[in-house]
Amino acid sequence: MIKANDPKLESWIEVPKNSDFPIQNLPFGIFKGENQKPCAASIIGKKVIDLNALAQLGYFDDLAFNKNTLDKPVLNPFIRQKRKVWRMVRERLSYLLNKENATLRDNPENQGKIFHDLKDVRMKLPVRIGDYTDFYASKEHATNVGTMFRDPKNALLPNWLHLPVGYHGRASSIIVSGTPIHRPKGQTRPDADKPPVFGPSKLLDFELEMGYILGQGKRLGKSISTEEADEYIFGLSLFNDWSARDIQKWEYVPLGPFLGKNFASSLSPWIVSLDALEPFRTQQPKAEVEVLPYLRNKGKNALDIKLEVQIKPEGGKAKTVCRSNFKHMYWTMQQQLAHHTVNGCNINAGDLLASGTISGKNPSSYGSMLELSWKGTIPIKMNDGSERKFLQDGDTVIMKGYAQKSGHVRIGLGEVRTKILPAT
340 is catalytic: no
Q: What is the predicted pLDDT for the residue at 301?
A: 96
Q: What is the predicted pLDDT for the residue at 158?
A: 95
Nearest CA to 33 out of 93, 128, 112, 118 is that of 118
pLDDT reading at 327 higher than 70: yes
| Identity of residue 182 | H
CA 219 and chain centroid, separation: 25
Please report which helix (H) or strand (E) contains residue 249, including its range.
Answer: helix 245-251
CA distance 94 to 99: 10
Nearest CA to 178 out of 411, 412, 397, 423 is that of 397
Nearest CA to 234 out of 253, 252, 211, 257 is that of 211
CA atoms within 13 A on the CB side of 66: 12
pTM for the structure as a whole = 0.97
CA distance 263 to 259: 7
Q: Are the CB atoms for 324 and 358 separated by under 8 Å?
A: yes
Instruction: Tell me the helix, strand and coil percentages in the chain, rounded to 5.
Output: 25, 25, 50
Q: What is the predicted pLDDT for the residue at 1?
A: 53
Tell me the pLDDT band of 20, cut-offs 50, 70 and 90: very high
Please report which helix (H) or strand (E) contains residue 12, including its range.
Answer: none
Mean pLDDT, residues 107-129: 97
User: For residue 227, is it left (φ>0), alpha (ψ between -120 and 50) or beta?
Assistant: alpha
At 140-198, the pLDDT tens digits run 999 999 999 888 888 999 999 999 999 999 999 999 999 999 999 999 999 999 999 99
Q: What is the predicted pLDDT for the residue at 322?
A: 98
Q: What angle do CA 153, 157, 162 make, to 5 degrees?
A: 120
Please report which helix (H) or strand (E) contains residue 87, including its range.
Answer: helix 83-97
Please report which helix (H) or strand (E) contains residue 267, including its range.
Answer: strand 265-267
CA distance 257 to 133: 12
Helix (H, G, I), strand (E, B) or coil at 197: strand
CA distance 356 to 398: 17
Nearest CA to 73 out of 22, 36, 118 is that of 36
Average pLDDT, the chain: 97
Q: Can you name the residues that pair with 207 across neighbouring β-strands?
A: 368
At 344-372, the pLDDT tens digits run 999 999 999 999 999 999 999 999 999 99
Q: Can you name the residues that pair with 167 across neighbouring β-strands?
A: 134
CA 68 and chain centroid, separation: 26
Q: Are the CB atoms for 118 and 13 separated by under 8 Å?
A: no
CA distance 211 to 324: 15
Domains and CATH numbers, the chain: 29-124 (2.30.30.230), 132-421 (3.90.850.10)
Helix (H, G, I), strand (E, B) or coil at 84: helix
| Identity of residue 151 | D
Tell me the pLDDT band of 35, cut-offs 50, 70 and 90: confident
Q: Which of 141, 328, 339, 340 is catalytic?
A: 141
CA distance 239 to 12: 32
Which DSSP symbol is given to 180?
-
